[in-house]
Structure 1
Amino acid sequence: MPPLEIVATDDAFRDWVDVVNAADVWGIPSFEDARHLRGLHPGRLDGVVRSDGQPVGAAFVRPPAGNGADACGVAGLWVRPEHRRRGVAAAMHVALSEHARRLGLQKLEIEAHESERDARGYLERRGYEEVGRQLELALDLDSTPMLEVKPPDGITIVTRAERPDLLRGMYQVACEAIPGIPGEAADEVGSFEDWLATDMDRPIHTHDLTFLAMQGAEVVGYAVLQRGRGGVAFHSLTGVRRGWRGRGIASALKRAQVAGAKRAGFRRLVTENIVENAPIRHLNASMRYRPLASMILFRGPLLGAAR
């Protein structure tokens, strides 16, 4: 098996993106966004495996975000369908494990889509266990009428494009909303600069599709859409400050997202809901989002040799 080639140039990283696009259910929204995320985590390693000069496997590993004490890294493994069951994934996994040990990590978290039987079986055979599950749901925008956005009394909805000066207020929402999401992973909100780079200033987060709920001059909630491929947009965070929950603000933000996505020409909206997050699941069900397969988070040991 050829060794894992460490990605060091944009051309090599384009090959990495091409493999993920061929192997992953949703693929990479954009090369620019993937490159942006790659630069956010010191210690991250990306690699490709080639066969006859062509990239057939892609992988990454990084430390967890924030300052958590859990020595569990975040990793990903992808192999083009026609090259699976040839030891490519195992060889990449061993290389990732070696890098993870050098970072002081003891375990890895790897996602696999419920529909990807080969990926789930591969992880389970190597001692990986399910530790979380996110339900994927979709809304067909072609058959959804343009929604009227009706915020609660005293609440106005604006976009980041209209109010670029409100980032600090949005950060306060994030600091309350993200840690309170049931079952959320260990990655932390981090500093304002961390949050801005990770959650706000990604190339797929455009200002006209970032919606803020305002009560006077105060930001009490916000919601972000991610631009995907093939007419698909993805919901990112919909968060509301604790003292303002239960008043219909999240519903108004969601309706603004649907209307904004339709105006922008998207044909489908996709969201992920953590199983334990009953309020957002109820909201999406009420808006006729239909369930898809789930994304499963596995946690397991580092590998010492290809198995």
Structure 2
Amino acid sequence: MRIRVAQPDDAPGVVALRAIVYPYLVRGIESTRKMLAEPPPHGGWAAFVAEVDGRVVGWTSAEPNASTSVPDFGNVNLLHVHPDHRRRGVGTALLTAATDHLRPLGVRRVRAMAQSDSLPFADRHGFSPSREVRYSALDLNPPPALPEPPPAVLLRPIAELDPRLLYEADVASAIDEPGDVPVDAVTFESWQYDVWDELGLDKTASTAALVDGEVAAFSLVKRDGDRMWSNYTCSVPAYRGRGLARLAKTAALNRAAATGVRTAYTSNDEANAPMLAINARLGYRPVASQWTCLADLT
């Protein structure tokens, strides 16, 4: 087994591994290849793979968190190991590579995700569980019924919008998103990389609800074949309580289903009661849970 920096040609192996460990996550090969070839613009991002006999059996990435004003905060993203290669030091080696990368960048507090059965591993490495995240799935055969929009509301694919309008709505809605740290420092450049230029973003299925020309709510569809991920669904605070987030998400699900998507996945912080209620009304069912875990780097 060896740990090395991930390369663009690792994309097929990384996606195949993710499909085994996290079958409810959606990111395609070309999207992963681009991420490895063109890292995020905020700097400091790195990805590592564990390799055995030329085969990718483990993965993680690490970066300073550029989306929050909290100083010296970083992420170890989606560390996972093939089930046949666990309890052999692969996860520990990947975690060491990630934290060794973050320390020289000034990161002193780090967040990682862990499935429930991985919490003992997290504890042994100094991580404490913080917040539970629910993953849910929805069968789109058929999609949920789409109600008639109110007279003042227009539903439009985001392909027809100026991306800055969507960015501004995203920033406004994310300010009170439940989480370990506030999401209050997202630049347009980083948003454009993470959201608008993501190869898997289906800009025709992704839908915004407009009121008087303003983006009041939207729902983003990230797609890989016949599976999709609801990348973000929200409503701007001034327009909440009108059912617009559910309307936008229902429209997005219907548009995705019309072009061949059969299963939709999403995730929510367990404290995000409004979105959990929306998903329940749409018919989503829980399929997994993970925990955010926090540790100090010393």
Same-fold status (TM-score > 0.5): yes
**Fraction of identical pairs, as percent:** 26
Determine if contact 1:160/1:207 at 8 Å carries over to the other structure.
yes
**Code of the aligned partner of 1:289:** Y
Secondary structure in 2 matching 1:236: strand
Q: What does residue range 1-307 of structure 1 map to in structure 2 within 5 Å?
A: 2-7=1-6, 9-26=7-24, 29-38=27-36, 39-40=39-40, 41-66=42-67, 68-75=69-76, 76-114=78-116, 117=117, 119-142=118-141, 144=142, 147-161=145-159, 163-164=160-161, 166-183=162-179, 185-188=181-184, 190-228=186-224, 231-302=226-297
- Distance (Å, rounded) in 2 between the aligned partners of 1:178 and 1:280: 13
Q: Which runs of 5+ in 2 are unaligned?
A: none
TM-score, scaled relative to structure 2: 0.88
Which structure has the larger Rg? 1
- Distance (Å, rounded) in 2 between the aligned partners of 1:123 and 1:15: 25
- Distance (Å, rounded) in 2 between the aligned partners of 1:185 and 1:3: 33
* Residues 1:21 and 1:104: Cα distance change in structure 2 (over 3 Å): same
* Residues 1:207 and 1:293: Cα distance change in structure 2 (over 3 Å): same
Runs of 4+ aligned residues of structure 1 deviating over 6 Å after TM superposition are none
Q: Which runs of 5+ in 1 are unaligned?
A: none
TM-score, scaled relative to structure 1: 0.86
Determine if contact 1:58/1:78 at 8 Å carries over to the other structure.
yes
* Residues 1:243 and 1:12: Cα distance change in structure 2 (over 3 Å): closer
Root mean square deviation, CA, Å: 2.3
Q: How many residues get paired?
A: 294
- Distance (Å, rounded) in 1 between the aligned partners of 2:242 and 2:230: 21
* Residues 1:239 and 1:286: Cα distance change in structure 2 (over 3 Å): same
